[in-house]
Amino acid sequence: MKTITLYETRDGECFETEAAALAHYAEHPEAALVFLTDADLEDALEGRAPDIADAIEKLGRRLQTARIERGDKKRVRRNGAESADESAGEPRGEIDGSAPVVAP
């Protein structure tokens, strides 16, 4: 009998190497978010868990892209014209006329 080391991701997948487990997280950012606690989220917000913060941001970008592609979410350009695409550096706001939100 021999002892082996496996790397288990939060979503229950097992990998023989740490690199393979990290690649799984890179390909499936939602896997890193399984079973997060309030404390985990607070750590991500406060900069103590950059890996969780990265996963949340990646998933957020995927969700935003999917919503824009489906037409669920549209952008308002500075000239007031609606656009389903994002324009880099422009303020973002909803079609309802609310104030634009500028990313930090």
The domain segmentation of the chain, as residue ranges, is 7-73
pLDDT in tens, 2-13: 999 999 999 999
What pLDDT was estimated at residue 16?
95
Give the chain's mean pLDDT.
82
Residue 104 has pLDDT above 70, yes or no: no
CA dist., res. 85 & res. 77, Å (int): 10
Residue 44 has pLDDT above 90, yes or no: yes
Q: φ and ψ at 33, to 5 degrees?
A: -100, 0
Q: How many helical (H) and strand (E) elements, i.e. helices and strands, does the chain have? A: 3, 4
What pLDDT was estimated at residue 46?
97
What pLDDT was estimated at residue 7?
96
pLDDT in tens, 56-87: 999 999 999 999 899 887 766 777 666 655 44
Percent of residues, the chain, with pLDDT higher than 90: 53
